[in-house]
Amino acid sequence: MTAALNRAQAPISTDAPEAELVARAVDGSEAAFEMIVRRHNQFLFRAARAILKSDAEAEDVLQEAYVRAWRALDQFRADARLSTWLFRIVTNEALARVRRVSAHVIPLDDAMESPEPGIQAALTDDAVRRPDQQAQRVQLRRLMEERIDQLPEAFRIVFMLRAVEEMSVDEVAHILDIPKATVRTRFFRARSLLRERLASDIDTTLVDVFAFDGARCDRIVAAVMARIRHASDGGRGVSGPEA
């Protein structure tokens, strides 16, 4: 017990390997777990956001998932990637919330039947000739987010992982447990749906889609660590996904 406590309280390097962070977090190091949260925050937020289509909902689910992961961390096995294990917890939480509220996906074609004038302008304006290029970039980013939200769920998740997170086909197939051919098909279909209206804009705005700024990261970290510190049970009794 003393050795574990000493290990948990020892200083942590910012480039500490994942296995060390997990071991020290299991021993009770909040600093180690906070580092785990910060390393995976953007990826997991985007995963939750792809399912829930709401920044606020995604943040809430992410907090719930991190608390669940903290309690189940001693069950993590190093034969799987920590990011995959955490991804499964987050997506399970997000999908459970979708089922609870009976959410449904809006068909892309139907949503495009009556476009707003402002959206049409954003699609047709020449960015090079406009003086407010920065404002247009923000507008186009928001438009891209809206169009991605309108994709069918199966396409949307694959698109987020492949195009926004820039994961390989092999990685997406592994993390979603689907054939590589299915990943390619869904990604191709998602891009086709988006290209119908966005055309070349799709490649120039991806870098800013669902931006994850420092303030949001800090807010999630603070909320998660506060919940962990003040949890009434203080244990790790919740089971995580199979790894």
Cα separation of 112 and 91, whole Å?
Answer: 28
| pLDDT one-digit tens code per residue, 72-107 | 999 998 777 899 999 999 999 999 988 876 544 444
- Say which amino acid occupies 39: R
Length of the chain: 243
Closest CA to 49 of 151, 186, 191, 157: 157
DSSP 106: P
Query: How high is the mean pLDDT of the chain?
Result: 77
Residue with tokens 């992982």: 161
Cβ-proximal residues to 122 (8 Å cutoff; 6+ apart), any chain:
136, 139, 140, 143
Is 206's pLDDT higher than 80? no
Provide the pLDDT confidence category of residue 124 given band limits of 50, 70 and 90.
very low
Q: CB-side exposure of 170: number of CA atoms within 13 Å? A: 0
Structural domains in the chain?
Answer: 2-103+214-229 (1.10.1740.10), 108-208 (1.10.10.10)
Question: Can you tell me the distance from the alpha carbon of 175 to that of 90, in angstroms, rounded to the nearest whole number?
Answer: 12
Model confidence band, residue 133 (pLDDT cutoffs 50, 70, 90): low
Tell me which residue of 119, 183, 117 sits closest to 147, measured CA to CA: 119
What pLDDT is recorded for position 139?
A: 74
Angle between helix axes 55-72 and 30-52 (nearest 10 degrees) is 140
- Highest mean pLDDT (candidates 108-112, 139-143, 221-225, 235-239): 221-225
Q: Which pTM was predicted? A: 0.66
**How many other C-beta atoms can be found within 10 angstroms of the C-beta atom of residue 242?**
9
As a whole number of angstroms, the distance between CA 154 and CA 157 comes to 6
